[in-house]
Amino acid sequence: MVAAGTDAQEQEEDVKLQKDSKELLAEFTTSLPKFAWRQTSGHGNAQQKPRSYVDTRETDRLVLLLEPFQELPQLLDPHLQELIPALAHILLVCLQLNPSSEEPKSISRATNQRLIPLQRAICKILYTFCKIRGPKVIVRFLSTETKYIELLLSTIEAGVPADNEGPNEESNEEPVVQTSGWSWEERYIVLLWLSHLLLAPFSLASISSTNSTESKGQAIAGLSWSGNVPVLTRRVIALATRYLTVSSKDREAATVLLVRIAMRKDMQQLGVLDSLVKWALSQLCASSPGTSSYHSIGILSFLAGLLSSSVSTMDMDSYAYNILLLVQEISTSESAFCKEIRSSAVARKLVIKIIRTIAVLYLQNEQANSAEVVESAIGHMFDVISDPATPVRVAASKSLSVITMKLSPEFATQIVEEALGALSQNTSTKKCDSVTMRTRLDFSRVNAMEWHGLILTISHLTFRHSSPKSTLSDIVPTLIHALSFEQRSTSGHSTGINVRDAACYGLWSLVRRYSTEELLAIPAPASSASSAMTGSFAIADDSVIKSVARELIVSACLDPSGNIRRGSSAALQELIGRHPDIVEEGIALIQVIDYHAVAVRTRAMKDVVLAASKLSLSYAHALISGLLDWRGIGDSDDSVRRLAATVIGQLVAGPSLYGGHVQWSWFNEIIADLESIEIQSGSKIRAVEERQGRILSLAQIIKTLRPVMKKPSRDNIESIVPPTIDVDQPTITHLRVLLQEILTDPSLLQNVAARRQELIAEAVSQLINATYPMPVTDAIQAYVKGKSVRFLTEGLLGAAEISASDDVYDQQAHIKNLFQASTTTWLPHLDTAKALVEKWLARNEKEVMDAASEAAAGLLFLLDDTSRQAWIKSWATIVSKETPGRSGQNLGYLYAIFNAYPLAGELKQSINDAIHTRWRSTYDVDVRVTVLQRLACSDVLDTDAAAFSDLISEGLDDYTTDTRGDIGSLVRVEALNAADRMWQNSSSNEGLFRSICGKIIRLAAEKMDKVRTEAQKTTLRLCSQGSEFGQFSSSSREYFSFLLHLHTDDHRSSVPFESSWLVDMLEGYVGSADTGSEDLLRASRAALADFCDENADLVSSAMWEVLKRNEKNDRVLVPALEVMSFLFDIGAAQKTQLNWFNLYALLTRAHYQTGNVRKVEACIKVYGGLVEVYPKVLQKLTSLLGHPWPRIRNQAADTLFVVRGVGKGISWNNPPKVNKQNIEVLRKELQI
């Protein structure tokens, strides 16, 4: 089965972070001093000074070291006390430096982009801490000394927004780095720090500087105050209002600063709060439609901050009603300005926050019109609970829970009932089918966003323990149903993740906030997502705790979202820990459904499901029910459905799970369920996917019921009938009827255009492969009296394990005789199954070809000799034909013909000829890959390796390229796998293996990583036992060194190393040493240089053979020449006894009238090395000075200058005729 593809690559980032956190923080701590400070020497002592500018790349690197902690921010807590003060100190030092004391440095545009001021870099890092851990946590570690207020305030007042930096586009002057230019990160940190410093417990008038002149930004339109307001206050308010309406993050810090100064008692006494509130209201009332939405957001956030800060006080009571009227007008008015504000999700969220806080203020102070205000607030929350923006829905749900917590139990009950009533609208209970009576809630007509908001509301109420106990009996079933909420769009996209996430939070809150006694008092739900089956799947619980535990188990194992699986696991752990001795096998359960174990969906659906099912039969019930629903065989992902079907087969029929007993009642339920789907197959949009999932699950159950046994002997037919499982006869009868209905479905044989036909083709092929041994079993039962098991082994009838032993024909004869002697109802449908399989073999989907070819091989057992041979011949005929047009056609017949090979008998030669004909016809990479794949996974090479060894050899030499690149590498990889398969039986194939051994070693040294890695695995079989070759990286120096020493060190190889294998290996080696990646080139050349220290003659002679063998093959010749040049460069080639004339002659032939520029350049490089031992090449080099291509002329001139020091000062870019005289001068100078 194919593993689930949705998250098979999922990584447990938090686990990785926990392991790496110490290293990340250590690197950050070590890098920070070097990043911020530079060492200077003065008066004999080393001093530290802050850097003026730092590299943006280094800043980004430090930020990236912190970014992973967003997954687990609490890991930073032990280090904040050290890191934040250090960063704050650096920032203060930067701010204290007088920018005008140093003249700005003019730098280039490139440098300007690469360098930033140190204070900006520090603020970026501090903001990253705020983003990860939250600003409220970070500011606690900043200095509270009020002496820094003036420093921070004056520097930010003088700052110019960073957007003003940069050169004037209309001038040609180089840009100047402006030390006064501030980015939004700098403003955010300084404003946040100022707000923290304003917590000073004494009057601001006492710390205002009398010498300070009022800043030019103090005049604020619409804001008036008394004359005795301190200058410091005016400066802070001017600064905060300036950034209150910007679009960047510093708006949030400005809001905090403005709220902080307005809510100070001394400022309230001076009328600052009154002035600011009136100013804010006037700003909203006086705004026009052309006003920026950020202006309104800033004012609303300021009002929301004031109201939140006034909770538990009466500071804002006199303004609350006017603010409420204003935000209600914004929420309901049809004016253009109000509509523009409502178009922002941030503004809508702020309106909710304001209304909620006002309602709380009215409730706590019991004002006259409290009921009206609260009722209006609750109505508004329910109106926006289905808002399209998630933050708005979250704010509304949280607000409802906060208000409810302040109400009496009677009114709280009304709110809960209102929420539950809204959830029940547009929902209905539907039957999944008419046979099993399995039911579930129909969510197709509900608003998923409204459900999210309402479920989140209930979850918040539960978390705050504000849900009245009388409503818990309705809340628990609602949360359970929401945990399985799912909607599908017409494209199949799931839209219920946020609802399930909210439900998971609600169940976690329930088990955490309510005592065991309170939960046991709740009646157990009558139905739930996993217990919505009657019959054998019906589950009755005696407590709500068990029901919740079971639902969390299903969600933790099967939910498509990793966050929900982990959240359900955490909620289950909370439930078992806080309510012990209630959940069956509780401790073992949380060890199985571990937070980290469910992170990867494939592991959760398979390993965790099977382990949890062993703990209790009720858990298996729930998990099977979940697997039969949308989280299993109804999933939109094909690979998930296949995995779910496999797991269902193991759960239903796995004798190891339930004491050796097959759950026949479950089997009957699934068959009935499938039968209902067959009847209703056209009534659903996604009926094809669901039908495929159910058929696959049925096939897997039947396969699991066939016991795994050894091959039966030819003399004891009874040995194939194991007496370990009791067969339920009604189930078999029911299955026969269903199989007949499936096979006789007219839509399967008719050539109609149906949606996703390949899914049904795959599923029915799997069912045929699993079920069609059953008639043979009936015959054997008639032959062997008293035996009750009716399933043969996969070893006998499974296509993937057909034996090629001497027993296979005797087994086939027994089966044939028994089958012909039996009277069954299966035979009329054999032709139907055969026709279906024949049709599906022509499809091109890999999953269909796999399943159909296995089914075809299984059906061969049930045919007589004549029919069997005729069918195999037809496959051979189709395989041998060329398929013009698209590549990769009729590959299914190749699959089938290899599966049928052990049964072919006299037709084996015909199959051999057909495969070779198809291989050598028009080149088709898909055909070659398929042939080699089937050879690697079948037993053909064990008995007939000689017939196909030539294909493996050709595959190892396939270097075909096209517009896609080196497509031959796909063939070489599969050829290596086939060679490895042949090598496993090397005792009988030793001669064949040794004939391709050199090619395998060549591929082990070639430049393509994927080919080299596969070749390493195959070459490992050549190495002596216990060799460390398999541990080397295939791109390492040690790896290439080992390959080179295979020829000289006999103990490294398990077989004698032939001298020709070194030449073969070097043919691949030169590619790695010339055109491989930089690391590969460095490693291979270093290993070669080391090897040449003692084996220079061996390497040089082998390289000469490579050059001779590939004189016409530029793919090998050019890199071989480059490597030969390298051997001259390191002085290895000169020491050898090569025939220099032969090498010189080969070089002249190689570049004679060639259009390959690289080849000519490589020849020139070798000429340069050859000069030392064969001076005659100087004549050839000088002749190349007249080459038509300037590039060649220049390289020849460069080589002559390096080896003889001649030709300096001559431009060889000129035409050859112009330099003809210069060439003659050089010849005379060189005396040639």
In this prediction, residues 1132-1153 reach a mean pLDDT of 92
| Closest alpha carbon to 710 in 795, 801, 632 | 795
Checking if the pLDDT of 1105 tops 90, the result is yes
Confidence category of residue 306, pLDDT binned at 50, 70, 90: very high
pLDDT(436) > 50? no
User: To the nearest 10°, the Cα dihedral for 1081, 1083, 1084, 1087?
Assistant: 150
Determine if residue 965 is left, alpha or beta; phi over 0 gives left, psi from -120 to 50 gives alpha, anything else beta: left
The model's pLDDT over 940-974, given as tens digits with 9 standing for 90+, comes to 888 888 889 999 999 999 999 988 899 999 999 99
Q: Output 110 or 546, whichever has higher pLDDT.
A: 546
Confidence of residue 1083 (pLDDT cuts 50, 70, 90): very high
Residue 441 phi/psi, 5° resolution? -70, 140
Task: Show the tokens assigned to 204.
Answer: 């601001």
1165 pLDDT higher than 90: yes
pLDDT of residue 12: 57
DSSP letters along 873-890, please? HHHHHHHHS---SSSSTT
Q: Is residue 649, in this structure, part of any structural domain at all?
A: no
Question: What is the DSSP code string of 281-327?
Answer: HHHHHH--TTS-HHHHHHHHHHHHHHHHHTTTSSTTHHHHHHHHHHH
Closest CA to 586 of 539, 625, 608, 619: 619
Separation of alpha carbons 1108 and 1149, rounded Å: 11
CA-based nearest residue to 1119, from 1156, 1154, 1092: 1156
Q: Tens of pLDDT along 884-920?
A: 656 567 889 999 999 888 878 888 899 999 999 999 8
**Higher-confidence position of 1096 and 202:** 1096
**What does the pLDDT read at residue 1160?**
94
Q: Are 1167 and 1199 in contact (CB under 8 A)?
A: yes
**Do 586 and 600 belong to one domain?**
yes
Same domain, 1162 and 1109: no
Place of tokens 């967003």: 70
CB 811 within 8 A of CB 804: no
The rounded distance, in Å, linking the Cα atoms of 1166 and 146 is 76
Judge contact between 989 and 952, C-beta under 8 A. Answer: no
Q: Is the pLDDT of residue 112 over 60?
A: no
Name which residue leads in pLDDT, 530 or 97.
97
Task: Report whether pLDDT(501) > 50.
Answer: yes
Does residue 1134 lie within any of the structural domains? yes
Q: Are residues 1099 and 1179 in the same domain?
A: no
**Cα-based distances in Å from 351 to 170, 321, 400, 818:** 45, 14, 14, 82
**441 vs 57 pLDDT, higher one:** 57
**Residues shown for the chain:** 1232
Domain boundary among 1116, 1138, 1160: 1138
The pLDDT score that the predictor gives to residue 1085 is 95
Instruction: For residues 218 and 632, give the distance between their C-alpha atoms in angstroms, rounded to a whole number.
Output: 65
Count each helix (H run) and each strand (E run) in the chain, helices first: 57, 8
The whole-number pLDDT of residue 912 equals: 92
Q: How far apart are CA 539 and CA 431, in angstroms?
A: 17
The predicted-structure confidence for 658-703, as pLDDT tens digits, reads as follows 555 666 777 777 777 666 655 554 445 567 888 888 889 888 887 7
- Does residue 60 have a pLDDT over 50? yes
CB-count burial class (<10 Å; 0-12, 13-18, 19+) for 253? buried
pLDDT higher than threshold 80 for residue 731? no
The answer, yes or no, to whether residue 785 has pLDDT greater than 50, is: no
Q: Strand, coil or helix: what is 457?
A: helix
- Taking residue 557's Cβ as centre, other Cβ atoms within 10 Å add up to 34
Last residue of a domain, one of 1095, 1117, 1138: 1138
pLDDT for res 711: 35
1225: pLDDT strictly greater than 80: yes
In the predicted model, is pLDDT for residue 641 greater than 50? yes
Question: Is residue 151 within 8 Å of 95, Cβ to Cβ?
Answer: yes
**pLDDT for res 1097:** 92
For residue 170, the model assigns a pLDDT of 36
- In angstroms, the CA 841 to CA 892 distance is 5
Q: Looking at the structure, do residues 1080 and 1211 belong to the same domain, yes or no? A: no
Q: Is residue 356 domain-resident?
A: no
Q: Which of 1005, 1150, 1166 minimizes the C-alpha distance to 1071?
A: 1005
pLDDT at position 1046 is: 86
We report the CATH number of the domain holding residue 482 as 1.25.10
Helix, strand, coil distribution of the chain in percent, nearest 5: 65, 5, 30
The reply to whether 452 and 507 lie within a common domain is yes
Average pLDDT score over residue span 82-103: 79
Indicate whether 797 pLDDT > 50: no
pLDDT computed for residue 14 by the predictor: 62
Round to whole Å and give the CA distance between 302 and 256.
8
Per-residue pLDDT at 829 exceeds 80:
no
Q: Which of 1-5, 562-566, 1045-1049 has the highest mean pLDDT?
A: 562-566
DSSP 8-class letter at 608: I
Contact 736, 826 (CB under 8 A): yes
DSSP, res 40? E
**Residues 836-881: tens digit of each pLDDT:** 899 899 888 889 999 999 888 878 877 778 888 899 999 999 998 8
Q: What string of DSSP letters covers 515-539? A: -HHHHHTSPPPS--SSS---GGG--
Whole-angstrom Cα distance, residue 453 to residue 474? 17
Q: CA 1137, 1139, 1144, 1150 torsion: positive or negative? A: negative
Does some domain include residue 208?
no
pLDDT band of residue 995 (cuts 50, 70, 90) is: confident
The residue-averaged pLDDT of 642-655 equals: 83
How far is Cα 997 from Cα 989, in angstroms, rounded to an integer?
A: 12
**Which residues 6+ apart lie within 8 Å of 893 measured at CB?**
841, 842, 875, 878, 879
Q: Which of 928, 988, 970, 968 is nearest to 952 (CA)?
A: 928
- Six-digit token pair at 882? 């060329």
> Which residue's entry shows tokens 């080196």?
966
Q: State the pLDDT at residue 5.
A: 39
Q: Determine the pLDDT at residue 937.
A: 87
456 and 505 within one domain: yes
Helical pair 250-262 and 293-309, crossing angle rounded to 10 deg: 40
Tell me what the mean pLDDT of segment 107-121 comes to.
Answer: 73
pLDDT for the residue numbered 817: 52
The reply to whether 993 falls in a domain is: no
Question: Between these two residues, 222 and 245, which has the higher pLDDT value?
Answer: 245
Poorest-pLDDT segment among 265-269, 636-640, 878-882, 974-978: 878-882
Indicate the range of 464-473, 533-542, 796-805 predicted with least confidence: 796-805
| CB < 8 Å & 24+ apart, contacts of 1017-1020 | 1017/976, 1017/980, 1018/976, 1018/977, 1018/979, 1018/980, 1018/983, 1019/1043
Q: Are 240 and 184 in contact (CB under 8 A)?
A: no
Higher pLDDT, 829 or 1031: 1031
pLDDT value for 205: 79
Q: Which residue has the higher pLDDT, 345 or 1056?
A: 345
Do 1118 and 1221 lie in one domain? The reply is no
Q: Is residue 1005 within 8 Å of residue 1055, measured between CB atoms?
A: no
Question: Where is the domain boundary, 801, 835, 863?
Answer: 863
Name the DSSP class of 919: H
pLDDT of residue 727: 54
- Residue 738 in any domain: the answer is yes
Write phi, then psi, for 595 (nearest 5 degrees). Answer: -55, -40
Q: 1015: domain range?
A: 1009-1138
Q: 1039-1071 pLDDT, tens per residue?
A: 999 999 888 876 566 667 788 889 999 999 999
Query: Which pLDDT does position 700 carry in this prediction?
Result: 87
Q: How confident is the model at residue 734 (pLDDT cuts 50, 70, 90)?
A: confident
Give the model's pLDDT for residue 725. Answer: 46
Q: Does the structure show a pLDDT above 50 at 1075? A: yes
Domain identity same for 1020 and 1059: yes
pLDDT per residue over 755-780, tens digit each?
788 888 999 999 888 876 655 544 44
Instruction: Give the count of domains, the chain.
Output: 4
Q: What is the pLDDT of residues 262-295, one digit of tens each?
A: 999 989 998 999 999 999 998 888 666 667 788 8
| Residue 141 · residue 85 · CB < 8 Å | yes
pLDDT value for 981? 87
Say whether pLDDT at 536 is over 70: no
Same domain for 609 and 554, yes or no, is yes
CA 262 to chain centre: 49
**Whether residue 1148 sits in one domain with residue 1232:** yes
Say yes or no to pLDDT of 1166 above 70: yes
996 assigned to some structural domain: no
If DSSP codes are grouped into helix, strand and coil, which group holds residue 161?
A: strand
Determine the Cα–Cα distance for residues 1013 and 814; give it in Å rounded to an integer: 46
For residues 544-558, average pLDDT: 94
Are 1097 and 1157 members of one domain?
Answer: no
Q: Which of 284-293, 381-390, 1146-1155 has the lowest mean pLDDT?
A: 284-293
In a domain, 350, yes or no: no
If you average pLDDT over every residue of the chain, what do you get? 82
1115 shares a domain with 1046 = yes
- Give the rounded percent of residues in the chain with a pLDDT score beyond 90: 46
- 358 confidence band (pLDDT: 50, 70, 90): very high
Q: 484: Cβ–Cβ under 8 A, 6 or more apart, which residues?
A: 440, 500, 529, 530, 551, 554, 555, 629, 631
pLDDT higher than 50, residue 1130: yes
Helices 148-158 and 184-197 sit at what angle, rounded to 10 degrees? 150
**Cα distance between residue 954 and residue 935, in whole Å:** 14
Burial class (CB in 10 A: 0-12, 13-18, 19+), 750: exposed
CA of 1153: how far to CAs of 195, 1183, 1186, 1215, 1220, in Å? 80, 14, 14, 19, 20
